[in-house]
Amino acid sequence: MLEPSADEIRDWGNSVTQFMIDYLGGLRDRPVYRHTSSREIRSGLDSKLPIKGIDFDSLLKIFRDTIVPFSRQNAHPRMFGYVQSPGTPIAGFADLLASTLNANLTIWRSAPAPVELERLTIDWIRQILGFNAEAGGLFVSGGSMANLAALAAARQTKEHSLGHLRMYASSATHFSITKAVALLGIGRENMQNVAVDEHFKMRMDDLVAKITADTEAGYVPFCVVANAGTVDTGAVDPLREIREVANRFELWMHVDGSYGAFAILARSARKSFAGMEQADSIALDPHKWLYLPVDVGCVIYRDPEIARATFAHEAEYTRMFGEEADEAFVCWDYGPELSRRFRALKVWMLLKGVGLDRLSAAIESNLACARHLESMVQASDDFEMAAPVELSIFCFRHVPAQFRNESPEAIDAFNERLLVASQRDGSSYLSNATLGGRFALRGCVLNYRTTLRDMEILLDDLRRVAKSLRNRA
């Protein structure tokens, strides 16, 4: 098993490929989610410490019978919860190849071609976003790590001894930013929540007022974080205006584009992102809107030298001899990790194999699905929107006739029960958001398999589950 024969490898590969074919072929017929418990799952797993190994077929059988049915089916076309990509077969094969080669992308010398492929792919992403030619970055584990790395670089630009650093981000910002601020020692209390307008976008007047008041009080404003697609509603902050304010007060501008930035590939959404290319840093997640499987996030710095000043570390055991320029590229100079898997392979295989035209069309289709849902909700008399649709996230509530005269609290409580019941039902899967203090059902279309018809099925599912809830009450 540790070193299988060629025949064994072929047999394992054939079995795994057959599983993939059957699984993807039957995806639409599976429930997105099956309610279960820790006890039920554990009862299907042998918990004894394995002293002797078992054969590959038995391992695959446990995966097929116990792991797969009790997983949320993230590739299902009606998996609308959170910000979940479906993965794609080409990336599944890329991950297999990356693990087979087991390249470790620490420095160019350790993995010359893989590092070169990462730099090439990062440069393609830079071009997609419209950043300057000098911009560069790294693949990291996800958006959270990309945000952390970018904020570490931002912190480098201000003198800490002058006073407490202050950072600004809208109240709709993802919690990974708050976490980064805490981990970097800046302190959660030094992250200022800027108010949002009725479209859940950062309010410029509040941003300027907060920076001005902090400066007068002796704080050191150092960074403003703009959202290119908030996690709750998909709102894109006014990026150009934020850049102007950042320039005026000499702040670093970081964009959290983990969810939304790749929607710049869709013609109908492109204008929302004007100014994004002027950011000092951006966090992206190819494992969201490039449909790739986890984990692959990406951080890009407008001036990578600032990242180098933040992360470079010269230890004797890592010293390089006799190498120059490109071949002396040190990955750990640009981010917090040392050992890094070959994430670039799946990004490269996707971009090169699928091509931007087809990716743009898929993202455009996701946007159309969210807009279709919004139109259906607006035309209905039993649903209401809770936020405008800007990208592919939609927030709404079910308000059947009997609830129309009920209090907002009663409608929220009913929708909360509906969310849980519909997740257990398994035909469609939503998550939730709290908007203006009220509960909302929330969905995000992030799957090239999702069709307009799936959006109709979603509303039908909710009506059906709501009816059964009312009948039970």
Ligand X SMILES: Cc1ncc(COP(=O)(O)O)c(C=O)c1O
Applying CB under 6 A, the residues found at the interface with ligand X are 83, 142-144, 174, 176, 231, 256, 258-259, 285, 297
**Cα angle value 209/211/214 (rounded, 5°):** 105
Which residue blocks in 130-256 are alpha helix, DSSP H? 143-155, 175-183, 204-216, 239-248
Q: How far is the CB of 281 from ligand X (least distance, A)?
A: 13
Ramachandran assignment for 282, one of left (phi > 0), alpha (psi -120 to 50 degrees), beta (any other) = beta
CA dist list (Å): 148 to 126, 284, 470: 19, 12, 46
**Strand order of the sheet with strand 393-398?**
383-385, 393-398, 438-444, 431-435
Q: How far is the CB of 245 from ligand X (least distance, A)?
A: 21
Which residue, 143 or 304, is less far from ligand X as judged by CB? 143
| CA gap 252, 282 in Å, rounded | 11
Q: How far is the CB of 442 from ligand X (least distance, A)?
A: 12
Which residue, 367 or 465, is less far from ligand X as judged by CB? 367
- DSSP E strand stretches across 228-355: 252-257, 281-284, 297-301
| CA gap 122, 347 in Å, rounded | 9
Q: How far is the CB of 212 from ligand X (least distance, A)?
A: 27
Which residue, 31 or 142, is less far from ligand X as judged by CB? 142
Which residue, 31 or 286, is less far from ligand X as judged by CB? 286
Which residue, 246 or 296, is less far from ligand X as judged by CB? 296
Which token pair is 172?
């709709």
Which residue, 153 or 459, is less far from ligand X as judged by CB? 153
Q: How far is the CB of 296 from ligand X (least distance, A)?
A: 9
Q: How far is the CB of 229 from ligand X (least distance, A)?
A: 6
Which residue, 227 or 428, is less far from ligand X as judged by CB? 227
Which token pair is 317?
């055991």
Q: Which long-range contacts (CB under 8 A, 24 or more apart) does 355-359 make?
A: 356/128, 356/265, 359/265, 359/290, 359/291
| Rounded CA Rg of the chain | 24
Q: How far is the CB of 176 from ligand X (least distance, A)?
A: 5
User: What is the bridge-based pairing of β-strands 438-444 and 393-398?
Assistant: antiparallel
* Residue length of the chain: 473
Q: Which residue has the tokens 């910002």?
A: 173
